[in-house]
Each structure stands twice: as C-alpha cells, then as structure tokens.
Structure 1
C-alpha cells in the first residue's frame, strides 16, 4: 500500500538526478508515493520516490525511481536525460525526460525489447492515478 512522501524526499531525488520534476508528478507522489496509472486499458505501476526515513519506508521504496532508472541504463538504449517512473509488469517503462534542469510532464514509452524511446501524446497529469 502506498503512502505520502515529503517534499524533502522529492527534492533529494531531484538533486540526485539533477533536474526538477514536473509539478503534476511531484504533487501526485506527495499525496501517494506510488500507485497505479491508468489510461484506457493500459495500466502502469508507479515507482516510488526514495524515502529512507524509517524501516517501513525503506522497505516500501527499495524499487524507487533512481534504482529502477539505473538498472534500466545497464541494458543500454535508455536516454541519459530520462527517468523511469513506472513499469507495466512486462518490461516496458513510462519515462519522463528533462532538459535544462527541468523535467517535462510529457510521457515517453520505453520498449524494453527494441531498446527504443517513443514520445506518447499524453502528459502525466492526463493519466488517472489510483492508490497502489
């Protein structure tokens, strides 16, 4: 089950990445650090923001966005300016990309078989977020 995350943890993640998250994403994660995104029949499980403030949160956030992004980069083809925010359970990922220190809220699809990134015609704020 997901839980809130503080703005301090979000800012720490942003500092580790070197870019600010879009406001829609940061607010959604502050309310519920994780959860599920839905758009039509598509379902994506959001990776939480790293939160090491107590043992329970450490366990619940071990698959945080930075961990998942770094693991994805080991296989190649993943953009240096991207961060994996969600997975579909089949190996594919939803990605946010940044430039000049700011993430856009435009979503990208990373195909794990082709190792290719494709821009989607949807923004994070347009997805329906549910508790995880």
Structure 2
C-alpha cells in the first residue's frame, strides 16, 4: 500500500546517497510513496522512501530506495553510479544514473542484470507510465 510522503524523508535519502532526485520523481513519490510501472510488458515495483511516521508506513517502506541500492551494490554488483528506484521479479531494475559531475541524470534507465546494460526508457520520470 502506497502512502503520501513528507519531503523530509526524501531529503534524508538524498543526504545518505549524496544526490538530489529529479523534481518529477520527488513530486510523484510525495503523492504516492511506491506503486508500480509497466515497461515493455513487464511490471516494476517502485521502491519507496523510508518513512518512519508510524508503524504501517515503516513496515511498508523497509525496502527503501537507499536499502535496495546499497544491497544491490554490495551483493549483486550494481555499479556505484546507479540509484535503484524499481525492480521487476526477474532481477532487472529501473534506475537513475549519477553523472561525472555528481548530479543525477534526469533519464530513467532500465538496467538489465543478465547483460549488465543500461537502456534509457524515459527522458524524465514524469514520462513514465505509472500504473498504481
């Protein structure tokens, strides 16, 4: 279940990751912290921002963007310049890329785990077909 989100939780994640998320992504996640996206007939579940407002929100946000990104880097070889924002059931993920200047690219990328390849799927998050 996705809830609204206070911006302070996005700011905490940004501080931990050392980046600033694109405004279109921030705005969407403040309206609904989670949900899913369909790309190429495949459903990707959005990772929420960790929300400690109450027990229900805490429980539904344990698979946070920060946690999933750090876990994928440590255990699955996700490149350090990627921020994981969604995953399908088969190991592929949607992500943002950190540019050489430290800023986050506005494009949303599909990271195919089996070939370790990035494919742009949207020029910005607001162009994504959010289904729920």
TM-score, normalised relative to structure 1: 0.88
How do residues 97-112 of structure 1 correspond to structure 2 at under 5 angstroms?
A: 97-99=97-99, 100-112=101-113
Q: Secondary structure at the match of 2:95?
A: strand
The gaps in structure 2 that reach 5 residues or longer are: none
Alpha-carbon separation, structure 2, partners of 1:4 and 1:30: 5
* Residue correspondences, number: 130
**Further displaced range: 16-25 or 49-58:** 49-58
Superposed CA RMSD in Å reads: 1.6
1:69 is aligned to 2:69: yes
Distance 2:82 2:40 in 1: 24
- Structure having greater relative contact order (Cα 8 Å, sep ≥ 6): 1
Tell me, yes or no, if the aligned pair for 1:25 and 1:105 is still in contact at 8 Å.
no
| Structure 1 residue aligned with 2:117 | 117
For the 8 Å contact 2:84–2:95, the answer to whether it is kept is yes
Deviations along 1:40-97, one digit per CA (max 9) or x if unpaired, are 5232110001111221111000000111111111235422121100001111111111
Which ranges of structure 1 fall in alignment gaps of 5 or more residues?
none
Partner of 2:19: 19
